[in-house]
Chain A
Amino acid sequence: GAGVSQSPRYKVAKRGQDVALRCDPISGHVSLFWYQQALGQGPEFLTYFQNEAQLDKSGLPSDRFFAERPEGSVSTLKIQRTQQEDSAVYLCASSENWGDYGYTFGSGTRLTVV
């Protein structure tokens, strides 16, 4: 596609509910990042994939967070048993290689846990 596509655009979840956020990177992009952005703050790194390999997941805040990219293209970020502190915008970004020339973000999924 022309850009990085994320869905859903908005998600309201009840506390304790599981959610799945989808990212379609730009076709052919090897590197894929997930970030979490709280209101008024910069994006916080969550995890990084190179093709299907998850090379860094050090930013995932707890074991309730899980990300996968099984075929090296679409990625899913799953949050189990959502808590109010999970409310944020979840941003996905991709780049052709590692990202040394910068990378392109999707519009994000705004998650609100009530």
Chain B
Amino acid sequence: RKEVEQDPGPFNVPEGATVAFNCTYSNSASQSFFWYRQDCRKEPKLLMSVYSSGNEDGRFTAQLNRASQYISLLIRDSKLSDSATYLCVVNYGQNFVFGPGTRLSVLP
């Protein structure tokens, strides 16, 4: 099993849709979790941290399920500008492991 796995995508959704991405990780000792977004040919940028209680930032909601070793990202009312690759990141000891990413295209 890979350390961090994500929905393969791509996800093609119309503007205004709600879309959810899933990520699973294999290390039960992991403590830090993040979602990054990466635009084409750009560097990854931190979207949000993921906390045990779940957290929300505007249209974005992140959830963590430690028992199932699973995190999710929900985007409501998607915008064209949300089109990007979304990367799940989990710590393994001192290093941070990225998932392969899920590509989202929001269509007009």
A residues in contact (CB < 8 Å) with B: 33, 35, 41-45, 48, 55-56, 58-59, 91, 98-108
Contacts and interface: CB of A to CB of B under 8 A. Distances in A.
A108 B96 CA distance: 17
A108 B46 CA distance: 15
Contacts of B44: 43, 91, 105
B98 A42 contact: yes
Interface-central residue, A41, A43, A101, A104, by most chain B CB under 10 Å = A43
Interface stretch (B12-20, B53-61, B76-84, B87-95): B87-95
Contact of A106 (B32, B43, B91, B99): B43
A72 B95 CA distance: 18
Contacts of A104: 46
